[in-house]
């Protein structure tokens, strides 16, 4: 009896396996491309989220520039950044000058040791106000009358603004400006330093620390620092914004070579050094521009930036003339993408209102070691802020 001869030959099986292998290889490559694209998109979204948070913190600090800052320091001597903190030290107003709410430099690397790796030609911005500190006392305030210290109602939405006795907050007291041309005056304390006291348990203890409050006057107390073991160096907090280069090539390897991190550095009351907080990574440049009202009509009529920098205005002139602060930050989104090449027509980027006011950056030649910069997706982030406490 003849057997059934149905089936596949060896050649047919080999052909089928080859075709299946090709299909699997194509699917693998497709899957790899999908995974790489997804990872790249996730990195871009993460960068956008982190950048938004950093910009929001910077915006809040610029809005609070000058908040709780005296126009008349009443002959008081104070200190700011320690001499070893370079270039931060060169932006001090201490020991006897009235502190300026904003201080600006065109090049944060000027005067700094090369080992500190500040990005050259990137601006340095200093903001002074009790509210820019990163501690539990900053941004809190209350007011004082001849007979009492105001205590916020527990159910009031401003309850977070109240001082605390545990842990003890350091505060300064200011006689506020009540009319045009008047100066907000820092009140002297009988303690050391002569401009700050711990938040008192009663009005009586406050009245013994300060020159007696005049009849009918209302004074404002601003929280500065909550560490009871550290006396204040200055009657405010100070935040410096600048771009620092990465310490090593392994420090955030997703960033293009030659880029850095925008940081907020607060001046420590204990020692005068800087405590850095990284905000935005992969930054190539930052420029700051100011809109000024020089004739007192309330309308900005002058714009200053890199040429020239913020003029050598007095503390009062800064509060009266600066109407808007504009910040421009050049950074890239996501890691290097070898499948993307920056168009030659996009290599020149203006960081600022104009190249004259800010800086023109050539993405393909401005930074040493930037042969791969064409494989990054660059973006200029902008921030327009009006300081709320200026006159």
What residues contact residue 338 under an 8 Å CB cut-off, 6+ apart? 375
Domains of the chain by residue range: 46-68+79-133+236-385, 141-225
Over the stretch 252-287, which tens digit does the pLDDT of each residue have? 788 888 899 999 999 999 999 999 999 999 999 999
Q: What predicted TM-score, i.e. pTM, was given to this entire model?
A: 0.86
pLDDT at residue 74 in the model? 93
* pLDDT tops 70 at residue 53: yes
Does residue 28 register a pLDDT over 80?
Answer: no
- The pLDDT value recorded for residue 43 is 55
Q: 181: pLDDT confidence band, cut at 50, 70 and 90?
A: confident
pLDDT of residue 110: 78
Q: How confident is residue 114, by pLDDT bands cut at 50, 70 and 90?
A: low
Q: How far apart are CA 277 and CA 16, in angstroms?
A: 60
Of 60, 123, 33, 72, nearest in space to 351 by CA: 123
Percent of the chain with pLDDT over 90: 43
The answer, yes or no, to whether residue 92 has pLDDT greater than 80, is yes
Q: What is the largest CA-CA distance in the chain?
A: 127
- Cis amide prior to 167 (ω within 30 degrees): yes
How far is Cα 99 from Cα 193, in angstroms, rounded to an integer? Answer: 17
How distant, in Å, are the alpha carbons of 79, 211, 239 from that of 186? 15, 11, 20
Mean pLDDT of 348-374: 83
SS3 150: coil
pLDDT in tens, 204-237: 666 667 766 566 678 888 999 988 788 899 999 9
3-class SS shares of the chain: helix, strand, coil, % to 5: 20, 25, 50
């Amino acid at each position: 009896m003849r057997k059934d001869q149905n089936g596949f030959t060896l050649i047919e099986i080999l052909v089928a396996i080859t075709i299946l292998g090709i299909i699997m290889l194509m699917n693998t490559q497709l899957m790899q491309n999908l995974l790489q694209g997804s990872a790249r998109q996730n990195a871009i979204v993460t960068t956008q989220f982190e950048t938004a948070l950093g910009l929001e913190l910077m915006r809040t600090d610029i809005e609070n520039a000058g908040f709780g800052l005296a126009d008349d320091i009443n002959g008081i001597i104070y200190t700011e950044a320690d001499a070893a903190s370079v270039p931060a030290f060169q932006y001090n107003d201490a020991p006897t000058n009235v502190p300026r709410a904003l201080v600006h430099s065109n090049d944060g690397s000027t005067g700094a040791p090369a080992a500190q790796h500040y990005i050259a030609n990137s601006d340095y911005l200093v903001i002074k106000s009790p509210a820019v500190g990163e501690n539990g006392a900053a941004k809190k305030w209350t007011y004082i009358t001849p007979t009492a210290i105001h205590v916020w109602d527990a159910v009031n939405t401003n309850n977070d603004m109240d001082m605390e006795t545990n842990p003890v907050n350091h505060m300064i007291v200011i006689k506020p400006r009540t009319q045009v041309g008047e100066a907000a005056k820092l009140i002297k304390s009988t303690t050391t330093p002569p401009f700050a006291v711990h938040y008192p348990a009663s009005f009586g203890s406050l009245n013994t620390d300060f020159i007696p409050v005049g009849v009918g006057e209302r004074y404002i107390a601003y929280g500065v620092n909550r560490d009871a073991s550290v006396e204040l160096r200055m009657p405010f907090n100070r935040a410096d914004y600048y771009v620092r280069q990465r310490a090593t090539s392994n420090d955030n390897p997703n960033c293009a070579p030659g880029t850095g991190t925008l940081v907020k550095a607060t001046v420590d009351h204990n020692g005068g050094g800087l405590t850095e907080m990284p905000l935005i990574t992969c930054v190539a440049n930052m420029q700051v521009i100011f809109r000024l009202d020089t004739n007192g009509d309330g309308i900005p009529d002058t714009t200053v930036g890199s040429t020239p920098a913020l003029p050598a205005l007095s503390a009062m002139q800064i509060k009266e003339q600066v109407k808007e602060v504009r910040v421009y930050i050049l950074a890239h989104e996501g890691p290097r993408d070898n499948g993307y090449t920056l168009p030659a027509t996009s290599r020149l980027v203006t960081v600022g209102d104009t190249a004259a006011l800010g800086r023109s950056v050539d993405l393909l030649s401005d930074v040493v070691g930037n042969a791969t910069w064409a494989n990054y997706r660059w973006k200029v982030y902008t921030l327009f802020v009006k300081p709320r406490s200026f006159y």
